[in-house]
Amino acid sequence: MTSADCLFCKIVAGEIPATLVAETADTVAFRDINAQAPTHVLVIPREHHRDIAAMAAADPCLTGRLAADAAAVAAQDGLTGFRLVFNTGAEVGQSVFHVHGHVLGGREFRWPPG
């Protein structure tokens, strides 16, 4: 399942370059082009789902595997703590509509987020 006009489907297909840090049968992880922290990696499913809500409804097992793969990426970067963010909807800042978990770490974070 892919979407012809989707930027992240093109990264999965290798049609657009990205700095890959991990790959599994289900997911691809690559550095965010506009990093907001020393570690800022996007973990995405190879399959196209528009956001975490749609993916969780369609395939809860894949959603769990993506969470595990995000934790593995954080460990690979030497993080003991990390933030995993899924912006869901344009009104909260989602700009690419292929689900992606932001793995963020390596600096101090504040709560609540802005």
Active site residues: 100
**Least separation in angstroms between CB 109 and ligand AMP:** 16
User: DSSP letter at 26?
Assistant: S
Whether residue 96 contacts residue 36, with contact meaning beta carbons closer than 8 Å, is answered with: no
From the list 101, 95, 13, the residue with the least C-alpha distance to 56 is 101
E strand or H helix at 23? strand 20-23
**Least separation in angstroms between CB 76 and ligand AMP:** 17
Q: Which residues form the interface with ligand AMP (CB under 6 A)?
A: 7, 16, 18, 30, 32-34, 42, 87, 93-96
**Least separation in angstroms between CB 18 and ligand AMP:** 5
Q: Give the Cα-Cα-Cα angle 68, 72, 76 (nearest 5 degrees).
A: 170
Nearer to ligand AMP, 33 or 61 (CB): 33
User: DSSP letter at 78?
Assistant: T
Nearer to ligand AMP, 34 or 80 (CB): 34
Nearer to ligand AMP, 2 or 87 (CB): 87
3-state secondary structure of 101: strand
